[in-house]
C-alpha cells in the first residue's frame, strides 16, 4: 500500500525495494539491533565505486524505538501526550518505517551529487555525515509538507527523536557515525531556537524546525555544488566542526567529544539507563 503511493509521488530513479523474509542468518542479522546493512562499509582492498545492494530489517525498528527511544522522549519532551508515533500497531509501525526508508533512499539519489554516482566521495567521514543528515532532513520536510504521504507525522517523529535521543546516547556514541548526525541536528536546531529548554525539558517549535531544516539542507547543497572534491571535503569538515567537537585519535578514528547543552540531556538518559539496569523494569516499563 505505502510503496505504491510513494512510487507515484516520488518515482525512484534507480532502485526498486523488494520485501523478503530472512529465513536464517548470523546472530547479528537475526537477533541483534542491526536495522540496515551496507556492503560498502566492509573493508575492501579495492576502491568502492558502487553500492550493488543494501539490506533493511525494518521489522526490528518497532522494538528499538519503543524500548529505547520513546522512554527517553517521554522524559525529555514537553507535551509528550501529543506525540503520535507511540500509538502505532505492529503492522502500521512496519509500514511507517518503510516510508522513512524509501524517502531516505530516494533523496540519496537526488541533487547535484547523488549518492549512487559519488559513492567514493561520500564515504569520506565528514561528507558522509552531512549527506546522511541532509536526506533525513529532506524526508522530514516532505513529511511536514505533503499530506499524501502515509504516516507522515509518525515518520517525522521517527527521524527527529531517533537521531537526537537514541544514536547520541549509545554506549559507543563517541565513535558512532550516526551519533554525529544526531549531535549536529540537535545543535543546529538549538541554534535556530527550534529547540528550547524549559524546566529541564525540551520544547519543540515546529514552524522554526521547518525553517531550520530547510536552512541545513540548503547549506549542505551549496557545499555539494562545488566542483572540486577536495574542496568539498574541506568545506564539509569545517561545517561539521561548527557543531561538533571532533578529536582525531592516533589511529585515525574520529572521536566525538560530548558537547554543549546535550550534556544535560545525556545525563538524564544515562540516569534512566542506570535505573533500569538496577531494577526489574525495562526503560519502557518506567513510563508505560
Given this model, what pLDDT does residue 108 score?
A: 92
d(C-alpha 167, C-alpha 171), whole Å? 9
Given this model, what pLDDT does residue 177 score?
A: 84
Reading the chain (288 residues) residue by residue, the pLDDT tens digits are: 566 788 889 998 876 666 666 667 677 666 666 656 555 555 556 665 655 555 666 777 888 899 889 988 988 888 877 789 999 998 999 899 889 988 998 999 999 999 888 988 998 999 999 999 999 999 999 999 999 999 999 999 999 999 998 888 877 888 888 889 999 999 999 999 999 888 778 889 999 999 999 999 999 999 999 999 999 999 999 999 999 988 888 888 888 876 655 666 767 666 765 655 554 444 444 333
pTM (2 d.p.): 0.82
Residue 53: which of 4, 116, 134 has the closest Cα? Answer: 116
| Phi, psi angles (nearest 5°) of residue 77 | -105, 125
Per-residue DSSP letters for the chain? Answer: -HHHHHHHHS--SS---------S--HHHHTSS--EE-GGGS--SS--------EE-GGGHHHHIIIIIHHHHHHHBTTGGG--TTS--HHHHHHHHHHHHHHHHHHHT-SSS-TTTSHHHHTSHHHHHHHHHHHHHHHHHHHHH-TTSTTHHHHHHHHHHHHHHTGGGSTTGGG-HHHHHHHHHHHHHHHTTSEEEETTEEEE-HHHHHHHHHHHHHHHHHHHT-S-HHHHHHHHHHHHHHH-EEEE-TTS-EEEE--TTHHHHHHHHHHHHHHHHTSSS-TGGGT-
Given this model, what pLDDT does residue 287 score?
A: 37
Residues 6+ apart with CB under 8 A from 137: 185, 213, 216, 217
d(C-alpha 100, C-alpha 156), whole Å? 8
- Judge contact between 164 and 155, C-beta under 8 A: no
Amino acid at each position: 500500500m505505502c510503496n505504491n503511493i510513494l512510487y507515484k509521488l516520488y518515482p525512484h530513479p534507480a532502485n526498486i525495494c523488494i520485501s523478503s523474509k530472512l529465513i536464517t542468518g548470523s546472530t547479528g542479522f537475526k537477533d541483534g539491533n542491526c536495522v540496515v546493512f551496507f556492503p560498502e562499509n566492509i573493508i575492501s582492498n579495492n576502491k568502492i565505486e558502487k553500492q550493488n545492494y543494501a539490506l533493511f530489517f525494518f521489522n526490528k525498528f518497532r522494538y528499538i524505538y519503543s524500548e529505547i527511544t520513546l522512554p527517553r522522549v517521554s522524559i525529555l519532551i514537553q507535551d509528550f501526550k501529543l506525540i503520535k508515533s507511540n500509538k502505532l500497531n505492529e503492522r502500521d509501525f512496519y509500514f511507517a518505517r518503510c516510508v522513512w526508508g524509501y524517502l531516505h533512499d530516494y533523496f540519496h539519489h537526488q541533487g547535484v551529487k547523488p549518492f549512487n554516482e559519488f559513492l567514493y566521495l561520500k564515504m569520506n567521514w565528514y561528507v558522509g555525515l552531512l549527506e546522511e543528515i541532509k536526506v533525513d532532513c529532506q524526508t522530514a520536510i516532505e513529511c511536514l509538507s505533503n499530506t499524501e504521504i502515509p504516516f507522515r507525522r509518525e515518520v517525522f517523529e521517527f527521524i527527529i527523536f531517533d537521531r537526537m535521543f537514541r544514536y547520541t546516547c549509545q554506549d559507543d556514541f563517541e565513535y558512532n557515525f550516526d551519533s554525529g548526525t544526531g549531535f549536529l541536528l540537535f545543535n543546529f536546531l538549538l541554534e535556530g531556537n527550534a529547540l528550547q529548554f524549559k524546566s529541564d525539558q525540551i520544547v519543540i517549535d515546529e514552524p522554526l524546525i521547518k525553517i531550520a531544516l530547510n536552512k541545513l539542507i540548503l547549506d549542505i547543497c551549496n557545499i555539494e555544488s562545488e566542483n572540486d572534491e577536495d574542496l568539498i571535503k574541506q568545506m564539509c569538515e569545517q561545517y561539521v566542526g561548527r557543531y561538533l567537537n571532533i578529536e582525531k585519535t592516533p589511529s585515525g578514528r574520529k572521536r566525538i567529544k560530548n558537547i554543549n547543552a546535550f550534556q544535560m540531556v545525556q545525563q538524564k538518559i544515562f540516569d534512566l539507563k542506570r535505573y533500569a539496569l538496577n531494577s526489574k523494569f525495562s526503560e519502557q516499563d518506567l513510563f508505560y
